[in-house]
Amino acid sequence: MNKFRKIAALAAALSMTAAAFTGCAEKEGADVNTTTETAAETVAAEQKEALKIIYDEIKTEFGTVDLSDYPLTASDVPVDYEAVYEAESAEMAGSAAAYANDSASGGSAVNGVNHGEKDSLTFVVNAEYTGFYDLNFICKSGDDAKRENYVNLDGEKIGSIICRNNGVFGDSYLKNIYLTAGEHKIAIIPSWGYTDYDCLKITANTSITADTYKVTAPLSNPNADDHTKRLYKFLCDIYGKYSLTGQYADNGRTSTEFKRIYKQTGSHFAVLGMDMMNYNSGSVAHGSDSNTVEFAYDFYTNGGGIVTLCWHWHSPVEYQVNDENNPWYKSFYKEASTLDLDKIMNGEDEHGYELLMQDIDLISEQLARLRDAGVPVLWRPLHEASGGWFWWGNCKPESYIKLWNAMYDKMTNEHGLTNLIWVWNAQDPEWYPGDETVDIISTDIYAGNLVDSSFSGSFAQLAEVPGENKLVALSENGCVMDPDKVMDTNSRWLYWGTWSDPFTLKNGFLNDEYTSLETLDKAYQSDRTLTLEELPDLKNYPLE
């Protein structure tokens, strides 16, 4: 029987006992109401105590996590291995075509890989050894734009590459890719397109080792409280051994996601994701309210789980476009906001700066409620900045970094928020604010439909961003990854956070258009993932 289904079975059995007890009392007469109430109270107390006992037994059995090392998948690739495949010799489809180019390694390059529905460039490679490789697509774009395109391995999407070389051929890596010995097809499928390709260089991967998962850096806030230190210690202890199941669900343990996933898999997610968007001034001014703090408190304090919070930051009212096409509730997008973060952070717009600081104060007040209640938070503000779709990413990287550091300083030093573990999610190394203000590195991946890849290249890229080892997480995802692939490809994400509609739910039911029910079951039942039921007592997790 599934771990927690025996709780449900016991509850059902005890409920039947209570009903039988009540029925007997009614038959025996006298004061039926009094007798029934007394019997019900007695059985309810017995039921509650029995449930507590069986719950404690399960928490003892399944809540003690095996922290023994889980070895990395071995690689036979020699460290000096190198192979080069010219683009003009690859398979071309659609508009892809070779042209003469003296600056290309073979005297020719390929362009025209522009439209995903018909264009592609496929390298047929022969892996001499089974193991991990780095793929370096030598490419160029015609300007300084970051052009991102997908990479498929034998028909399966495994990641993406970014070309930003402004007219000069240069490196574009996808690292830590596992290949078995033999022939493989590595295809470039356009997302943006309009990139020229010289060749594919393949070398041995040496960036991901057992040391990658040994995180010894302390929390960025030296004054972090014990609850936060205990959670961070637990995260460091399991890193590389397990992935935590995670889900965005606005209503916490009362959410449809919580109920539907349990009904399907027999387990609950360990990490609850929610949003602080309705607490800032640009939301409150339009009548918004929120119970996010209450749901976060319940999930950690009563449910024993882990909370991560993001912030879709609505612009202050006077910076909201708020018209028919861009209503106020979209004002975290750049199109619906008139905020110019470059001007705000360089001192040209002092009023805008004051309003942003006031919003940080408002959010800090809410996070302080969780601090005072002893609830640690994986805090993920200013997310996905390098994508450029939010107002806090519609700027130069240095302006974003200034805002991040201003927020960190204000929340940590002025408001004394000792319960935050800072999760950076701008997704591009240029936007990294530094090791001193970051605890976890993360990315968000929406790969399409039914893509259960581990995206080991994205993991490897993130792991190289900080100057010291940091925890690496998948903070948002559309498809749940196959846990076997995560472990086998040495891309051991600390946790994932599946977004809700439509990626988890559709019309109130589980949506298998993005994650098959088979993959969902596997992810929640794997020996290498941890669900809510399998977490230890985080409030008393040992610090040593």
Q: Are 352 and 281 in contact (CB under 8 A)?
A: no
Cα 478 from chain centroid (whole Å) = 10
Residue written as tokens 């800032």?
280
Q: Are 394 and 204 in contact (CB under 8 A)?
A: no
Q: What is the pairing mode between strands 182-189 and 120-127?
A: antiparallel
Active-site residue, selected from the candidate residues 88, 476, 533, 534: 476
Tokens of 483: 């846990």
Q: Are 112 and 168 in contact (CB under 8 A)?
A: no
Amino acid present at 405:
N
Half-sphere exposure of 26 (CA within 13 A, CB side): 7
Active site residue 468: no
Collapsing DSSP to helix, strand or coil, 323 comes out as: coil
Tokens of 528: 């290498």
244: which strand partners? 495, 530
Altogether, the residues listed in the chain come to a count of: 544
Active site residue 476: yes
User: Euclidean distance between the first and final Cα of the chain, in Å?
Assistant: 35
| Distance in angstroms (rounded) separating the CA atoms of residues 482 and 332 | 32
Q: What is the DSSP string of 47-94?
A: HHHHHHHHHHHHHHHHSS---S--PPPP----TT-EEEEEGGGSEEET
Q: Are 204 and 455 in contact (CB under 8 A)?
A: no
Active-site residue, selected from the candidate residues 86, 384, 533, 534: 384
Amino acid present at 491:
S
Q: Write out the H or E segment, with its range, that includes residue 272.
A: strand 271-275
- Could you give the residue numbers annotated as active site? 384, 476
